[in-house]
């Protein structure tokens, strides 16, 4: 099922357990579809490979992805995403937030 946000963007609503360990992948795919080259995905600490396929969707739209560096308490998700080749930036969380602020400012200037 798709819904439109007040800004006119579409988002897909899914069952949180439609696939085992795929919640972030499904969320990222939805974001990529809705925002295209303005989508941003961030993979932080977590188990398994959830998020890796989602990063691929985001990159296929020409958008940006981040993964937490080796500071992640549970490194499976960020390491898997990094190994996929679909991650643009590997940074600690505080540097990710600074980069997001800079990217947001660039997006705002380009509107």
Domain boundaries, the chain: 2-110
Is the pLDDT at 14 greater than 80? The verdict is no
Q: Which of 10-14, 56-60, 107-111 has the lowest mean pLDDT?
A: 10-14
**What does the pLDDT read at residue 16?**
54
Its CATH architecture, for the domain 2-110, is 3-Layer(aba) Sandwich (3.40)
Nearest by Cα to 39 from 52, 49, 29, 53: 29
Mean of the per-residue pLDDT values of the chain:
88
Per the CB < 8 A criterion, the answer to whether 54 and 77 are in contact is no
Q: Region of 83 please: left (phi>0), alpha (psi -120 to 50) or beta.
A: alpha
Q: What is the pLDDT of residue 2?
A: 53
For residue 32, give both structure tokens.
């990529």
- Residues 6 or more apart in contact with residue 20 via CB below 8 angstroms: none
Confidence check: pLDDT of 1 > 90: no
* Amino acid 60: pLDDT: 98
Q: Are 53 and 83 in contact (CB under 8 A)?
A: no
Q: How sure is the predictor about 107, in pLDDT bands with cuts at 50, 70 and 90?
A: confident
- pLDDT(19) > 70: no
């Amino acid at each position: 099922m798709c819904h439109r946000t007040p800004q006119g963007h579409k988002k897909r609503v899914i069952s949180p357990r439609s696939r085992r360990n795929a919640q972030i992948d499904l969320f990222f795919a939805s974001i990529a579809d809705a925002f295209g080259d303005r989508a941003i995905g961030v993979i932080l600490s977590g188990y398994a490979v959830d998020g890796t396929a989602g990063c691929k969707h985001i990159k296929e739209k020409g958008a940006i992805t981040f993964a937490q560096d080796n500071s992640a308490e549970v490194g499976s998700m960020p390491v898997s995403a990094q190994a996929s080749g679909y991650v643009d930036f590997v940074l600690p969380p505080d540097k990710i937030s600074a980069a997001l602020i800079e990217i947001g400012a660039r997006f705002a200037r380009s509107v």
